[in-house]
Amino acid sequence: MKLKDDRKYALIFRAALKLVAKKGLSGITMGDISKEAGIATGTLYVYFSGKDELINALFAACRERSVAVSFKGYNPQQPFKPAFKNVWLNILKYRLQHFEEVIFLEQCYHSPYITAETREKAQQLAAPFYALIARGQAEQLLKNIDSAMLITFIIGAMNELVKQIHYSGIALTRPKINTSFELCWDALKA
Amino acid sequence: MKLKDDRKYALIFRAALKLVAKKGLSGITMGDISKEAGIATGTLYVYFSGKDELINALFAACRERSVAVSFKGYNPQQPFKPAFKNVWLNILKYRLQHFEEVIFLEQCYHSPYITAETREKAQQLAAPFYALIARGQAEQLLKNIDSAMLITFIIGAMNELVKQIHYSGIALTRPKINTSFELCWDALKA
DNA sequence: AATATAAGCGAATAATTATTCACTAAAAAG
DNA sequence: CTTTTTAGTGAATAATTATTCGCTTATATT
Task: Specify the pLDDT at position B170.
Answer: 84
Nucleotides of C under 7 A from a protein CB: 6-12, 16-22, 26-28
Task: Specify the pLDDT at position A65.
Answer: 94
Beta pairing partners, B142: B189
pLDDT band at A6; cut points 50, 70, 90: confident
A175 to chain B: nearest residue by CA? B145
* CATH 1.10.10.60 intervals, chain B: 1-47
Distance between first and last Cα of chain B? 56
d(CA B176, CA B153): 20
Nucleotides of D under 7 A from a protein CB: 6-12, 16-22, 26-28
d(CA B59, CA B186): 32
Res. A107: pLDDT tops 80: yes
CA of A189, C1' of D24: distance in angstroms? 68
Res. A145: pLDDT tops 60: yes
Res. B115: pLDDT tops 70: yes
User: B91 phi and psi, to 5 degrees?
Assistant: -65, -45
Residue range A71-105, pLDDT digits in tens? 999 999 999 999 999 999 999 999 999 999 999 99
The mean of the pLDDT values for chain B is 94
Cβ of B160 within 8 Å of Cβ of A156? The answer is yes
CA of A65, C1' of C21: distance in angstroms? 36
C-alpha distance from B107 to closest chain A C-alpha (Å): 6
pLDDT band at A1; cut points 50, 70, 90: low
Residue of B18, B23, B25, B26 to mutate when probing chain A, most A C-beta within 10 A: B26
Cβ of B24 within 8 Å of Cβ of A188? The answer is no
Domain A1-47 homologous superfamily, CATH: Homeodomain-like (1.10.10.60)
CATH class of A50-188: mainly alpha
Average pLDDT for residues A161-177, to the nearest whole number? 89
Residue range B129-180, pLDDT digits in tens? 999 999 999 999 999 999 988 998 999 999 989 998 998 888 889 998 999 9
Residues of chain B contacting A, Cβ within 8 Å: 20-27, 103, 106-107, 109-113, 143, 145-146, 148-149, 152-153, 155-161, 163-164, 168, 170, 179-180, 183-184, 186-189
Task: Specify the pLDDT at position A171.
Answer: 85
CATH class of B59-188: mainly alpha
Collect all residues with Cβ–Cβ distance below 8 Å to A105 and sequence separation of at least 6. Answer: A59, A62, A63, A66
Average pLDDT for residues A106-132, to the nearest whole number? 93
Average pLDDT for residues A50-62, to the nearest whole number? 97
A115 to chain B: nearest residue by CA? B23
Contact (Cβ atoms closer than 8 angstroms) between residue B119 and residue A135: no
Cβ of A187 within 8 Å of Cβ of B189? The answer is no
* CATH 1.10.357.10 intervals, chain A: 50-188
A102 to chain B: nearest residue by CA? B110
Contact (Cβ atoms closer than 8 angstroms) between residue A70 and residue A91: yes
